Amino acid sequence: MAAIDPDDLPKKKITHELGQDLALLSVGELAERIGLLRQEIARLEAEMARKRASQTAAATFFKK
């Protein structure tokens, strides 16, 4: 039976769970998670802005 090369295994996607224990994470791992969370915040803010613009357009249209 051939040995499994760890490089051939699928890489686990880095995720962050709110309230997760951070004690075992390195400074680099924490920085990487902060970057991911900042990207997600930007994505959420962009979607919120898009929805607000849609609401404003609808309100303006129906006021006429």
The reported pLDDT for the residue numbered 10 is 75
Higher pLDDT, 63 or 55: 55
Q: Which pLDDT band holds residue 3 (cuts at 50, 70, 90)?
A: confident
Q: Alpha-carbon Rg of the chain, whole angstroms?
A: 21
Q: Where are the domains of the chain?
A: 27-64
Nearest-angstrom CA–CA distance, 50 and 29? 32
Using one digit for the tens of pLDDT, what is the confidence trace for 9-59?
777 777 888 899 999 999 999 999 999 999 999 999 999 999 999 999 999
Q: Are 45 and 26 in contact, with CB atoms under 8 Å apart? A: no
pLDDT number for residue 2: 63
Kindly tell me the sign of the dihedral angle through the C-alpha atoms of 13, 19, 38, 53: positive
pLDDT score for 64: 65
